[in-house]
Homo-oligomer: A and B are copies of this chain.
Amino acid sequence: MKYCFGVDIGGTTVKIGLFTTEGELLDKWEIKTRTENKGEAILPDIAESLKEKMEEKQIDREEMSGIGIGIPAPVSADGIVQNTANLGWGYKEVKRELEELTGMRVAVGNDANVAALGEMWLGAGKGKKDMIMVTLGTGVGGGVIVNGQPLVGAHGAGGEIGHLCVNYEETDHCGCGNTGCLEQYASATGITRLAQKRLEKDDAKTSLRGQKLSAKAVFDALKEGDQVAEEIVEEFGAYLGHAMANLAAVADPSVIVIGGGVSKAGEILLGYVEKNFKEKAFFANKDTEFVLATLGNDAGICGAAKLIL
């Protein structure tokens, strides 16, 4: 076996990578995600695209280890999805269907868990076996790697870090229906919300007033020494750091990897999270390392490929 495919299905595009089994990314490309008619074309489109690539590269099926896929939904260990928010699928036996379409072995995982696996295999968690990845984007996603394997759970909903309750006093609701979820404070929209609330609190001078608020604007102001921006980031860091301390008490990782759009703020972000983490971490976990994700959008295809190996 020399090669494998890593496939990362999103609501708009499907990202695909061709890898050697040693982890070299030989080629990557995208196809459109056709979600119409309950997403019935998605898997056939993928199968067709993989077949074309194998013909182009003159790769035989016997040289392929198989196909790993990440999906934006809970996935059971046997590759079955019950429902998806943005692919159009209801109940779908993804593993079985794609195996029938391609004649190759298929492994399926949740996209956040798969991205975590990618960072462990080829990115910021390289060489580690116990890792937490937090993805700070529009929402907060996550993946927990235990002894080299993603924590899938009984409903395929393991690692839902964004919905840890971090504030029992909160009255605003999270998209999930609960109140006080980490996602309400540590996602891009959460940070914007913290900023909005801070600006409304008093009329402290800050460069954030009069501009469109965003997580990026807050971190940019922080880097220019803005005091109010620092208060906002400190609050974000406390929520995220304390949540990670609780998570570490359970999962005992050697490294916590922070990725997603918000992490583009860079190393400055890690300090605020790590300081608050250390303040509340159980003694056995105080030396847990914090690092930024390094694979960006490729984490999904990398982790998907690793799933099948």
The reply to whether B254 and A154 contact each other, CB–CB distance below 8 Å, is: yes
A91 CB within 8 Å of chain B: no
A75 to chain B, nearest CB (A): 12
Inter-subunit contact B253/A154 (CB<8 Å): yes
Is A25 an interface position by the 8 A CB rule?
no
Minimum Cβ distance to chain B for residue A37 (Å): 27
Q: Is A245 an interface residue (CB 8 A)?
A: yes
Question: Within 8 Å of chain B (Cβ to Cβ): is A153?
Answer: yes
Please provide the chain A residues from 107 to 161 with a CB less than 8 Å away from any CB of chain B in the complex.
128-130, 144, 146-147, 149, 151-161
Residue-wise interface mask of A (224-256) relative to B, using a CB-CB cutoff of 8 A (1 in contact, 0 not)? 000000000000000000100111011111100
Find out whether the CB atom of B249 lies under 8 angstroms from the CB atom of A246.
no
Q: Which A156-187 residues sit within 8 Å CB-CB of chain B?
A: 156-161, 163-165, 168, 176-178
**A105, CB-defined interface residue at 8 Å:** no
Contact check, B250 vs A250: say whether CB atoms are below 8 A apart: yes
What B residues does A153 contact at CB under 8 A?
130, 146, 251-253
Alpha-carbon separation in the docked complex, A176 to B154 (Å): 31
B77 touches A147 (CB 8 A): yes
User: What residues on B are CB-neighbors of A284 within 8 Å?
Assistant: 74, 155, 157, 160
Find chain B residues with CB under 8 A from A149 CB: 147
Contact of B155 with A146 in the complex, beta carbons under 8 Å: no
Partner of A282, one of B146, B163, B280: B163
Inter-chain CA distance A249–B251, complex, in Å, is 12
User: A192 — which chain B residues lie within 8 A by C-beta?
Assistant: none
> Which A239-288 residues sit within 8 Å CB-CB of chain B?
242, 245-247, 249-254, 280, 282-285, 288
Residues of chain B contacted by A245 (CB below 8 angstroms): 165
Instruction: Among A74, A176, A280, find the residue whose CB has the most chain B CB atoms closer than 10 A.
Output: A280
Interface, chain A (partner B; CB < 8 A): 74, 77, 128-130, 144, 146-147, 149, 151-161, 163-165, 168, 176-178, 242, 245-247, 249-254, 280, 282-285, 288
